[in-house]
Amino acid sequence: MGKSSRGQRSPNKRSLLNGGAEDEPSPRMGGVDVNASFERIAFAVLAGAVQDMRSIKDTRRLRLLDGSLDLDEYRRLSPERRGELLSAAGLVASLAPTLKIIPEGAIKLSKKVLDAEWDSPYRQELYAAAIAGQAWRPEDMEGDTSRRQGCLRCGAQCGWLPVLLLPADTPTEITWRLSRPENHIPVCRRCRKVLGLGKGNKSRDIDLAWSLWADRFAGLWQWYLAVQQKRLPENWDKEEYPLWPREYGGTTWETGSGHLLHCAPRGPRGITRTQVHEDAYARVLDGAGEDTPPSLVLHLY
Ligand SMILES: [Zn+2]
């Protein structure tokens, strides 16, 4: 279920189909040709998976002198990329016995990847990271003028303040969610000082993030508490709900917070906010809230 299987890359179908003639261009939907047969789509997905395996071979730092996979370097890849490779390796390995067109090198590397993750307790987390898309980074927004966000209080150019943090020894296979947009607020240094943000007491930071991201932050917040208290739902389907369990998404799940549509990096636009979010925002701007629980907590419990 990685990017390669969602048609975001352009697999070389010709090489797998023995150079068959391409059809005339036809309508496409979500990267998939709506007139394409199931067989052709399946081949395209497989081609993407083979391409993922090939990318390992082409990445020098991942290869040892004997051509095998450097596991230490492999584990330094982002959880998202590891999830993509794991998904691709599973597809290649499962189809290899019946589809003889898969290159031998791709089959070997797929086995290496599956071996590398075999004992990992985080396999489902890696799949979730791959499905949820590129983790958003503050520099993505700051370097792109079309996405640049001014300070939410004064409008000045600013950086993004992370809100929720987990202990430094928390596995990166889990913490990737905190790199996503709903855990950040755009606020300049001066306003951080005026509002008392970014300090040990997180009450105002949390209220500001909630007022900005509404249910998206509320979902993340509930996941954050559950991780620390070790009470995440046992039946959490991470492929259907990669960001946080369905229970935390509320009624807006399908159209808001965790939907694939909103997994791409983006600023806090198009968010549905209500009066409670407006009130939380006003409360922070008024300088209240430092010594009291965040409005979000009072709202949820
Ligand atoms: Zn400001």
Q: Could you report the per-residue pLDDT of 111-132, keeping only the tens digit for each?
A: 988 988 888 899 999 998 888 7
Q: How far is the CA of 149 from the centre of ligand 1 (A)?
A: 11
Measured on CA atoms in the order 181, 243, 285, 190, is the torsion positive or negative? negative
More confident of the two residues 257 and 18: 257
Q: How far is the CA of 283 from the centre of ligand 1 (A)?
A: 16
Q: How far is the CA of 160 from the centre of ligand 1 (A)?
A: 11
Q: How far is the CA of 249 from the centre of ligand 1 (A)?
A: 30
Q: How far is the CA of 141 from the centre of ligand 1 (A)?
A: 17
Q: How far is the CA of 256 from the centre of ligand 1 (A)?
A: 28
Q: How far is the CA of 187 from the centre of ligand 1 (A)?
A: 5
pLDDT at 32: 44
**156: helix, strand or coil:** coil
pLDDT at 126: 92
Among 157, 277, 135, 286, which residue's Cα sits nearest to residue 206? Answer: 277
Indicate the domain borders of the chain. Answer: 3-128, 134-300
More confident of the two residues 250 and 54: 54
Q: How far is the CA of 194 from the centre of ligand 1 (A)?
A: 9
Total number of residues shown for the chain: 301
Burial of 141 (C-beta count, 10 Å sphere; 0-12/13-18/19+): buried
Q: How far is the CA of 186 from the centre of ligand 1 (A)?
A: 9
pLDDT at 40: 74
Looking at 29-38, 175-184, 239-248, which range is the least confident one?
A: 29-38
Does residue 145 surpass a pLDDT of 70?
no
Q: How far is the CA of 39 from the centre of ligand 1 (A)?
A: 55
Tokens for 60? 């020098």
Q: What is the pTM of this model?
A: 0.76
Q: How far is the CA of 13 from the centre of ligand 1 (A)?
A: 51
Q: How far is the CA of 212 from the centre of ligand 1 (A)?
A: 15
pLDDT at 142: 62
Q: How far is the CA of 157 from the centre of ligand 1 (A)?
A: 8
Q: How far is the CA of 188 from the centre of ligand 1 (A)?
A: 4
**Mean pLDDT, the chain, whole residue set:** 77
pLDDT at 209: 92
Does residue 278 surpass a pLDDT of 70?
yes
The Cα-based distances of 121 to 59, 118, 295, 299 in angstroms read 26, 9, 35, 34
Does residue 171 surpass a pLDDT of 60?
yes
Does residue 222 surpass a pLDDT of 90?
yes
Does residue 140 surpass a pLDDT of 80?
no
Residue type at position 257? S
More confident of the two residues 234 and 37: 234
Q: How far is the CA of 193 from the centre of ligand 1 (A)?
A: 9
Looking at 18-32, 54-68, 241-255, 273-287, which range is the least confident one?
A: 18-32
